[in-house]
Structure 1
């Protein structure tokens, strides 16, 4: 099954595995102002809270090992580590993959790829510690197969990230 994208001649195979890239939709070529953190967080809530809930049901041992590895790197690093945004990306996109829904995983990956939300977090040692503890709580709920706790932990995390985000990327 193939479909045509907005009258363009390029074709996308919808039977192919989702890989984190989403074809252009509805002629949108330019992203809106990415410094609108409340808007970005709202979209993340729509995607990532249900993803955490579904990950608690559909996760595999491989997902748990991957999330454990990511959280361990986050737990043992310092706020000066330039790879922190990569760890955050890996954590959230792995939860998307663990949800068992390839389209949901692709949308989460696309939002993170387009916006790099970690760049807006005003990271202090305390904010970094709290963020990692929240990731640990999300992971614990997913490990325990507790859908409600996973969703609640992700919502709490996104609220916290919104509170400590700035409108300009931090370097």
Structure 2
């Protein structure tokens, strides 16, 4: 144990044993150091530490005194710690308030007097219609503090006063005013006051639980973002204001459409077949040559994607005579007419 901690412990034992009481003056420094068996420097450090937590009151030129040791005075140190750690422990502090404040409201409902009720009514009516977040935070602290004091337990009242720092209350009410819910929260205050006035302890407990839980919810709510300015130069359109602009991507060149697959067999074009020329046999009269026509192929609807390919038979047999063999009908009389005659 450090020497300063040992000096603090010995002074605390003097307070607990009754050697020092609230409002007593400590012996001179040299006498107290000899009595405790400590050096003067260690005693000075201990006195400074106890002054910070409001146990001792050092009066320059008069001496060192024990304070009143009232609960509200001693819990000021906790309020100092709350102000320091409020960013990292705000949610935990509100959980403690949610546990303690409903009990304080229930106790206040059975012990509140007419003077405390009048003070609560005055606190609630003093809020202006267009109150700022700072004014609402000040009203909130006074309202809850009056209820805690009406519970009749000064230790509970001092503890609750120190649990919520001024900065934490201000940030909570900023969230509430940004969301436009200040009137609703003040309505919760009015409902709690009505339950206290009629002396309904369970109703006051329930309403206070809901009220502190809603404050915790507003504290966890992210701050409202200001509207973003429109930077477009042209007139705003509904589509441009709703749908965000998509990033442009490099467009690959569109490949040319491939020609459609050609059919395996097609009907020949509607054209007249060339007349077959037959040699005259000697001594015989020449016969009349038969002229046959190829029936026209049915017309198919043209497709917009591909052109009609050339006939396959015309590619294979470009000669008209051979083409006629493929294209003309194959009846027995027609085959006999197409068969070339050998010379006699």
TM-score category (smaller protein):
0.7 to 0.9
**Greater Rg, structure 1 or structure 2?**
2
193, 209, 217: which one aligns with 1:163: 217
Please name the residue that 1:53 is paired with: 106
Q: 1:157 to 1:94 in 2, by over 3 A?
A: same
> Does 2:187 align with 1:133?
yes
- Cα RMSD, aligned residues only: 3.2
Q: Shift of the alpha carbon at 1:16?
A: 5.1
Q: 1:127 to 1:57 in 2, by over 3 A?
A: same
Q: Shift of the alpha carbon at 1:165?
A: 1.5
> Does 2:169 align with 1:117?
yes
User: Which stretches in structure 2 are left out of the alignment for 5+ residues?
Assistant: 1-13, 21-44, 57-65, 225-344
3-state SS, counterpart of residue 95 of structure 1: helix
Rounded Cα–Cα distance in structure 2 between residues aligned with 1:162 and 1:50:
18
> Does 2:124 align with 1:71?
yes
Work out whether residues 109 and 195 of structure 2, in 8 Å CA contact, stay in contact via their aligned partners in 1.
Answer: yes
> Does 2:75 align with 1:22?
yes
Q: Shift of the alpha carbon at 1:163?
A: 1.4
123-132 or 32-41, larger mean C-alpha shift = 32-41
State how many pairs are aligned: 165
Rounded Cα–Cα distance in structure 1 between residues aligned with 2:211 and 2:133:
21
State the Cα deviation string for residues 59-113 of structure 1 (Å, max 9, x = none): 1111101100111123x43243632111011001111101110000001111134
Work out whether residues 76 and 162 of structure 2, in 8 Å CA contact, stay in contact via their aligned partners in 1.
Answer: no
Q: 1:30 to 1:145 in 2, by over 3 A?
A: closer
> Does 2:160 align with 1:108?
yes
Structure 2-normalised TM-score? 0.42
93-102 or 161-170, larger mean C-alpha shift = 161-170
Looking at both structures, which has the greater relative contact order when contacts are Cα pairs under 8 Å and sequence separation is at least 6? Answer: 1
Please name the residue that 2:256 is paired with: none
Rounded Cα–Cα distance in structure 1 between residues aligned with 2:172 and 2:221:
7
Rounded Cα–Cα distance in structure 1 between residues aligned with 2:130 and 2:73:
28
3-state SS, counterpart of residue 134 of structure 2: coil
Work out whether residues 141 and 147 of structure 1, in 8 Å CA contact, stay in contact via their aligned partners in 2.
Answer: yes
Please name the residue that 1:153 is paired with: 207
Work out whether residues 70 and 87 of structure 1, in 8 Å CA contact, stay in contact via their aligned partners in 2.
Answer: yes
Rounded Cα–Cα distance in structure 2 between residues aligned with 1:82 and 1:114:
9
77, 89, 94: which one aligns with 2:141: 89
State the Cα deviation string for residues 10-60 of structure 1 (Å, max 9, x = none): 3366865444651657xxx74463134321210111221111011101111
User: Which stretches in structure 1 are left out of the alignment for 5+ residues?
Assistant: none
